[in-house]
Amino acid sequence: MITQNLNEEVQLQNTPKEESKLGNAWYMLKKNKAALVGLVIIIILVLVAILGPLIMPYNPNIGELSQSLQKPSLAHWFGTDEQGRDILSRIIDGTKISLRVGITAVAVALSIGIVVGSIAGYYGGKVDMLIMRFMDIILAFPSLLLAIAFMSVLGKGIDNAIIAISIVTIPEYARIVRGSILSIKDSEYVQAARVIGNSDFAIIFKHILPNVISPIIVRATLGVSNAILDTAALGFLGLGVQPPQAEWGSMLGAGRGYFYNASHIILFPGIAITITVLAFNLFGDGLRDALDPKLHQ
């Protein structure tokens, strides 16, 4: 009888009217105009990445030298680069690279960070100290410099850029997950889950993480913008996507020598990076406010 009551208590704690919570979050999000603007831009970017081959006016990797450094015109809305390639087509083609790296790197770092942070926060003691001191060592270095160091070992390329960016951002998610678990691991419903015989794995991933997922989702959303910036920085330094494939950072790097006589080469990729990062930041900030229960009272 006692076990049955404890089991019912755990179930009640972990079914807090999800529809109501999601409805309140969506209501709060809709009230935030800046967040909606960010969401609309993100949706447009995703559609551009998917439909890129259908909407690109030219082949992004092939150009004519006779058309090099052309200023924006009706034929080339964003002008052409030093090799006569259409900049608009290259920006469209580069959208899928930036989104792919940003989302994939965050997904990998988040997955590992959840596991590492959960172990550290739940078990504590020497395990916690060992894991978090290692995370602190990684955090002691500027993320971009550490990513460059990893790239020098792994080599150039988009896949290695994803690995490098993922590694340097794991500590951020591990610390958030650890702190969230520490705040509720001694709660009554968690103790009840232990009493009825749930395994540590079930307690962490079934009872604890669902109740602390909000700050993790918000940080992951904001983390995409940071990953896109790191991707652009690596591309600017020639360590990310390799020519002739288009990527906004590499376009900036290739065009920096033409700043005075053909500034459009770096202007439009720079705008693309700015708008994308701003969109994810606006949406992430709005999501944080929408998922904050204090604002719903």
User: pTM value?
Assistant: 0.83
Segments making up each domain of the chain, as ranges:
43-296
Given a contact cutoff of 8 angstroms between Cβ atoms, the answer to whether 198 and 207 are in contact is yes
Which candidate, 280, 246, 211, 222, places its Cα nearest to that of 78?
246
Q: pLDDT-based confidence at 1, cuts 50/70/90?
A: very low
Query: Could you say which DSSP state residue 245 is in?
Result: S
CA distance 276 to 282: 10
For residue range 153-180, list pLDDT tens digits in order. Answer: 888 888 899 999 999 999 999 999 998 8
Backbone angles phi, psi at 86, to 5 degrees: -70, 120
Cβ atoms < 10 Å from Cβ of 237: 15
CA distance 118 to 202: 12
> If DSSP states are collapsed to H, E and C, what string results for 73-129?
CCCCCCCECCCCCEHHHHHHHHHHHHHHHHHHHHHHHHHHHHHHHHHHHHHCHHHHH
Query: Could you say which DSSP state residue 140 is in?
Result: T
Residue 269 pLDDT = 93
- Rank 28-32, 205-209, 221-225, 239-243 by mean pLDDT and report only the highest: 221-225
User: How crowded is the C-beta side of 183, counted as CA atoms within 13 Å?
Assistant: 11
Q: Which two tokens stand for residue 92?
A: 């469209």
Is the pLDDT confidence value at 14 over 80? no
Is the pLDDT confidence value at 9 over 50? no
Dihedral (Cα; 135, 224, 160, 145), 10-degree rounding: -50
User: How crowded is the C-beta side of 31, counted as CA atoms within 13 Å?
Assistant: 11
Is the pLDDT confidence value at 272 over 90? yes
Query: Could you say which DSSP state residue 157 is in?
Result: S
- Rank 165-169, 242-246, 285-289 by mean pLDDT and report only the highest: 165-169
**Mean confidence (pLDDT) of the chain:** 84
Give just the sign of the alpha carbon dihedral 143, 145, 151, 156: positive
Q: Which CATH number fits domain 43-296: 3.10.105.10, 3.30.1490.20, 1.10.3720.10, 1.20.1050.10?
A: 1.10.3720.10
For residue range 22-69, list pLDDT tens digits in order. Answer: 667 677 777 888 889 999 999 999 999 999 889 999 998 888 888 888
Residue 43 pLDDT = 95
Cβ atoms < 10 Å from Cβ of 24: 16
